[in-house]
Structure 1
């Protein structure tokens, strides 16, 4: 299948060049959003911003038993933390009157019909079809029911589920990621839109909302491709010919081993990445924006860069591999390039009261911002010194420059030690680092010595914790 050309909505917005782009992210508040959700939210947000359009948060909370305000609030908090601020917001739970009106219209026009088969009866039908080598497509037996037969089922206490009658024709669309696509609706079952208990499945409310909100593009995962033909027909049944938004289906994420992310998905929620892993938002977004594309995966410091680089034609058809280590690499890269003012308040929240000199000294050693607290402990103490040669440490202490230590003190001090002891290289420097920091590696020692100060340096060189 041919790849779609690079898409510019300004010249072709769902067939209407005057139409303003409007997209939506539609999470269900039944759990935390994870990297898979964020990737779809990000692609919608980037597309809307690139086109000067509108990004809508649609909260899919028609499942009133499982949806919670706690999860809804967390979704909003996560989106704001990521910088994916929405322009409009609404909840499906406040729109049941619209869905009821759509239901009535579809019934009146003959598109929605009641079916009384139980799940066991449907399962037996599917098994028989498979045994006969046929696809397990619903046989539309309910369409031939008489009013008397329906009344008999009702008297037995059966409640109907409601199916949408598909055309049986070939539905085609130009997918903005997958290219020219089609589905023969004769090969799929008429979809159930309303359950026996009267509750709505995802499909009907989604179509109604997209029509009412004037959504121009639906950007989502490719697990929805099989639903596309039915949804296009429902759009046209409710909104007329050509009312379906443009569609873009992104390949799903898999782990670095090629397996589904489902086993790790709890640890890959935005909340966990932020609070437990200490990952920066732009590390997450930099990775997700480029996964599965022909672009190199590189750290971006702001969303504006990702907006300008968005190009659906670069998206591969193969599943995108999510590598946690890659995200960690981007996280470290971003911290190494971050200025002090951008993190000052966050450092203070960690109890770090040092200024820019400390930050510039330690940031090349950070993988997470919270790692700075460990280096601050190195300065503030207490630090247990590592001293293997007490005589060398004592000699070094005697040569420590007088007065307040500066960045130049380290060079003068080590030169004096070298002249006195004849040591050089690792033999000269490593014992001093170990004595002053208790570590074998870390920030540049000229800054460390200055931040520690003369009194603590002498105490640690004597072998005492300070």
Structure 2
């Protein structure tokens, strides 16, 4: 069975870059009728916060990315400890004591000599007595996995054939001096024991994948199929920081972005398929193919979400937005005609309030000096209420016959006088709302 996972760290709010990873893994699992796991990477007790765990769940639920089960790495520390012991017994795990300053000096020396800046494995030459002396002086060391210096190869679902010389990579630190288990080993143990078959993540993890393949093989596991998607950039190609608040999912939600608009963009962005608004998750699942994504950095512009949001809202019946219409202050008996009027003229649901205020309170008339007599004559011809969908046509026909005006010279001054705007909803739809609400007052 196909099994995928999304493994966010609860050290902050998830953003569009995280979403790209989550969505791809979700769509792969759903298309195959498989399992999607939400795995909370909370092995860092100082930075992990329960409020962020809750926020991750809320964001996923808002988007409709429902997980089949949830796992927490903080509850699996014994499994990581067993894996570490197994690697020690195999001679593939060793303790190293260099300080960050010492490691930096080593890297600089290697670069100056034209060599790759990889760890020199000096710790392998330490005697037991030397290790004990260093522990006394510096505390516990870090634990590094000893890579086999051979080529690590796999066929990547997006990047194609990958081949990395393990000798060009430092032996990865899997456990810190303070005992904290790091992502590299925790992820391997989890993927193996949870039967993860497919892993999609950012291209910044390619080197991690190479080292993890060796760790998986050392522990007797089966390697999942890996695919590394391109990283997002800003619209001008600039780097995106996950600390940019406007790109956190909850901030996009606050700005009125609709889930289907965001999912439709992210499910196709960077692929050879055009971005098209989809009506539901089933459409996204059916059309998803990870092999259609490219390796080049992918430009993301948050402004692209708003036309998609507007288009999505235009397709919705009142039942889907009834709460938002009510929150804007619209009385229940006017909700249907109000939504029919407003839906074509909003970008987000937050715009409803402004249209309701126009209907409820009217607008400051926008009347040019040369149109004042014309507007006065037109108002005098306004029929008695109640108004309906035919009133605008009846009224403007009478005004045309009385004044001789036609076309834009007829309709524009009337629109501006009634709404204070040059553009907006069809006046035949808006006029009855203005009349009914004023009659109520």
**TM-score of the two chains, using structure 1 as the length reference:** 0.90
Secondary structure of the equivalent of 2:241?
helix
Secondary structure of the equivalent of 1:407?
coil
Q: Map Cα deviations across residues 389-422 of structure 1 (whole Å, 9 max, x no partner).
A: 4432222222112231111011010000011111
Partners of 2:128 and 2:258 in 1: how far apart?
62
Q: Map Cα deviations across residues 250-284 of structure 1 (whole Å, 9 max, x no partner).
A: 01111110111118732111100001x11001111
Residue of structure 2 aligned with 1:290, choices 268, 272, 281: 268
Secondary structure of the equivalent of 2:143?
strand
Q: Could you tell me how far 1:330 is from its partner in structure 2? A: 1.2
1:259 paired with 2:238, answer yes
Residue of structure 1 aligned with 2:283, choices 301, 305, 316: 305
Secondary structure of the equivalent of 1:453?
helix
Partners of 1:456 and 1:119 in 2: how far apart?
73
1:434 paired with 2:416, answer yes
Alignment of 1:115-264 (within 5 A): 115-240=96-221, 243-262=222-241
Q: 374-383 vs 60-69, which deviates more?
A: 374-383
2:83 corresponds in structure 1 to 102
Mark the CA change 1:455 to 1:122 in structure 2 (over 3 Å): closer, same or farther: closer
1:112 corresponds in structure 2 to 93
Q: Map Cα deviations across residues 195-226 of structure 1 (whole Å, 9 max, x no partner).
A: 11111221111111111211111111111001
Q: 210-219 vs 72-81, which deviates more?
A: 210-219
Residue of structure 2 aligned with 1:347, choices 325, 328, 341: 325
Alignment of 1:77-96 (within 5 A): 77-96=58-77
Partners of 1:366 and 1:91 in 2: how far apart?
41
**How many equivalent pairs are there?**
437
Contact 2:196 2:224 in 1 (8 A): yes
Mark the CA change 1:263 to 1:356 in structure 2 (over 3 Å): closer, same or farther: same
Q: CA RMSD in A?
A: 1.7
Q: Could you tell me how far 1:379 is from its partner in structure 2? A: 0.9
Q: Could you tell me how far 1:164 is from its partner in structure 2? A: 0.1
> Structure 1 stretches (4+) deviating beyond 4 angstroms?
none
Secondary structure of the equivalent of 2:219?
helix
Contact 2:40 2:53 in 1 (8 A): yes
**TM-score of the two chains, using structure 2 as the length reference:** 0.95
Contact 2:264 2:277 in 1 (8 A): yes
Partners of 1:303 and 1:367 in 2: how far apart?
22
Partners of 2:121 and 2:377 in 1: how far apart?
94
Q: Could you tell me how far 1:454 is from its partner in structure 2? A: 6.7
Q: Map Cα deviations across residues 3-59 of structure 1 (whole Å, 9 max, x no partner).
A: xxxxxxxxxxxxxxxxx0110001111111111101111101111100000111001
Q: Could you tell me how far 1:293 is from its partner in structure 2? A: 0.7
